[in-house]
Amino acid sequence: MASENMESLVNRRYEHGFVTDIETETFPPGLDEGVVRAISARKNEPKFMLEWRLQAYRQWLEMREPTWAHVHYPQIKFNEISYFAAPKSDDDRPKSLDEVDPKLLETYEKLGIPLHERARLAGVAVDAVFDSVSVATTFKEKLYEAGVIFCPFSEAVREHPELIKKYLGSVVPRRDNFYAALNSAVFSDGSFVYIPKGVRCPMELSTYFRINAANTGQFERTLIIADEGSHVSYLEGCTAPMRDENQLHAAVVELVALEDAEIKYSTVQNWYPGDENGVGGIYNFVTKRGDCRGANSKISWTQVETGSAITWKYPSCILRGANSVGEFYSVAVVNNMQQADTGTKMIHIGPNTRSTIVSKGISAGKAQNVYRGLVRIMPQAHGARNHTQCDSLLIGSECGAHTFPYMEIKNPSAKVEHEATTSKISADQLFYCRQRGLSEEDAVNMIVNGFCKEVFKELPMEFAVEAQALLNVSLEGAVG
């Protein structure tokens, strides 16, 4: 990046009387314009990006935290959070698996995570992980040949500013909501994907991504653009338990599918949920939205949510292009003191747009699980169709499940169907299975996996198996 650009940033920083040293690893707590400038400078961002962040910051100042969600938590003190932390250096990391918490390794084992991936997931210093580095390099070459751009968000800002200017904030505007505005001002890093016209991405971006899963920080920003006739499948997160010192996570994910393009976005979220009393768990406030901008495009969200103390998340589709298709498949598991308020929005704008929603909520312990879904059919969406199926499964008698379906239908030719069920794992069911020789835990797992199979079958194969194992681990000790 040009040095005068950098200089002007630094100068302006001082203009505003800001004194944070951008070389430090972690910024002191608090948020003002100076912090926003320092983040941008730290990342060597071009001017347009800084301006964009600053506008977001100013908009954020005028916004209020939303309170409509069915979740309870102590007030977040935004001025006590540090908004930038550089990734840990190799010196601070374990040198080999021998230095990693054996409990963590035990969980990897239970989840069936391949041996060569465990080291990196556990944060072992990179140069100690030979296998995956070479695998990653091979992936990188393959993607390059196909013309696919897949890089850290901050790299895209510098290397592909035209694409960023054109698409960033075009799906989730800065002022969309309180957390999206905050993210827009201070986002740390994330992923950028561009699939050129007519290209079918040669691999699941999952495999690649997982191997490279570094600390993306608490304000992640993801932008995926599938150009005309292209196709991509992306997997975010991983089944391995993720701990983080940062309690608040507010990510933004934007997907753009142009004509005839298809994006399949799968998430496995397993942030630390806190202990049985909910202490120390992550607050996960995410804005995810896909824009089916072109005709015949398709965006499909699949998520398996088992972690976090609080999850606030509604991956949505804007079905703008004629005949475009939106899908949402979700499994949300809450145990102990976890709270989840999650669901989706399907906004039908184009004619003959179709959407499918399959939501499976599982509650155990004292946890609360909320499904909140909006299906909106705009006046011009002739022939639009939606099918929603929303099932809740309760384990024990102290947990709760709540369903809030909203429907706004402004076109009489639309067809919207909603089905909802609530069931409970009964003592009789467990006894029946035990009489056939299954342990109580295996019986619960079997019933839960049966309940979720419609969603699991949407996940990439290797993750479906892990996700199933993850659910079992999450519900350990839920009965008995």
Partner 1 sequence: MLEIKNLKTRIGDTEILRGLTLSVQAGEVHAIMGPNGSGKSTLALVIAGHDDYVVTDGTVTYNGKNLLDLEPEERAREGVFLGFQYPVEIPGVNNAYLLKAAVNAKRRHNGQGEVDAFEFLKLAREKMAALGMDPKLLNRGINEGFSGGEKKRNEVLQMTMLEPSLAILDETDSGLDIDALKAVAKGINTLRSPDRAIVLITHYQRLLDYVQPDFVHVLSEGRIVRSGDKSLALELEDKGYDWVREAASA
429 binds partner 1 (CB under 8 A): yes
> What is the amino acid identity at position 2?
A
298, 259 in Cβ contact below 8 A?
A: no
| Segment 364 to 423, residues that bind partner 1, using CB under 8 A | 423
Region near partner 1 per CB under 8 A, out of 199-207, 268-276, 378-386, 443-451: 443-451
29 binds partner 1 (CB under 8 A): no
In this structure, is the dihedral angle defined by the CA atoms of residues 424, 429, 434 and 436, taken in order, positive or negative? negative
23 binds partner 1 (CB under 8 A): no
Give the count of beta carbons closer than 10 Å to the beta carbon of residue 75. Answer: 6
131 binds partner 1 (CB under 8 A): no
437 binds partner 1 (CB under 8 A): yes
> Tokens representing 164?
């960023």
The helix (H) or strand (E) run that includes residue 473 is: helix 461-474
Closer of 74 and 480 to partner 1 (Cβ): 480
Write down the least CB distance from residue 391 to partner 1, Å.
9
Region near partner 1 per CB under 8 A, out of 173-181, 184-192, 309-317, 429-437: 429-437
Closer of 406 and 431 to partner 1 (Cβ): 431
Region near partner 1 per CB under 8 A, out of 72-80, 264-272, 378-386, 449-457: 449-457
Distance CA(255)–CA(257), nearest Å, equals: 7
457 binds partner 1 (CB under 8 A): no
Distance CA(164)–CA(170), nearest Å, equals: 10
Closer of 201 and 425 to partner 1 (Cβ): 425
What phi and psi values does residue 412 have, to the nearest 5 degrees? Answer: -70, -20
Q: Is 281 left (phi over 0), alpha (psi -120 to 50) or beta?
A: beta
Candidate list 170, 440, 462, 473; residue touching partner 1; CB under 8 A:
440
Write down the least CB distance from residue 235 to partner 1, Å.
25
Q: What is the DSSP letter of 26?
A: B
Candidate list 150, 187, 451, 456; residue touching partner 1; CB under 8 A:
451
Candidate list 48, 130, 144, 431; residue touching partner 1; CB under 8 A:
431
129, 137 in Cβ contact below 8 A?
A: no
Write down the least CB distance from residue 464 to partner 1, Å.
15
96 binds partner 1 (CB under 8 A): no
Kindly determine how many residues on this chain lie close enough to bind partner 1 according to the rule CB under 8 A: 21
Distance CA(388)–CA(211), nearest Å, equals: 35
Torsion of CA 15, 183, 474, 444, to 10 degrees: 170
Write down the least CB distance from residue 439 to partner 1, Å.
5
What separation in angstroms does the CA of 113 have from each of 22, 121, 241, 268, 278? 38, 10, 11, 14, 26
Closer of 17 and 437 to partner 1 (Cβ): 437
Hunting for tokens 């804007």 — which residue is that? 318
Candidate list 225, 447, 471, 478; residue touching partner 1; CB under 8 A:
447
Distance CA(274)–CA(308), nearest Å, equals: 7
Candidate list 22, 63, 104, 438; residue touching partner 1; CB under 8 A:
438
130 binds partner 1 (CB under 8 A): no
Q: What angle do CA 81, 190, 362 make, to 5 degrees?
A: 80
Write down the least CB distance from residue 436 to partner 1, Å.
4
What separation in angstroms does the CA of 103 have from each of 158, 177, 240, 440? 40, 38, 12, 23
Distance CA(466)–CA(472), nearest Å, equals: 10
453 binds partner 1 (CB under 8 A): yes
Candidate list 426, 457, 476, 477; residue touching partner 1; CB under 8 A:
426
442 binds partner 1 (CB under 8 A): yes
49, 67 in Cβ contact below 8 A?
A: no
Write down the least CB distance from residue 433 to partner 1, Å.
7
Candidate list 446, 465, 473, 479; residue touching partner 1; CB under 8 A:
446
266, 230 in Cβ contact below 8 A?
A: no
> Tokens representing 216?
């993306």
Closer of 137 and 439 to partner 1 (Cβ): 439
Candidate list 292, 433, 455, 478; residue touching partner 1; CB under 8 A:
433
Write down the least CB distance from residue 342 to partner 1, Å.
21
Hunting for tokens 């969980």 — which residue is that? 107
362 binds partner 1 (CB under 8 A): no
Q: Which residues bind partner 1 (CB under 8 A)?
A: 423, 426, 428-429, 431-440, 442, 446-447, 449-451, 453
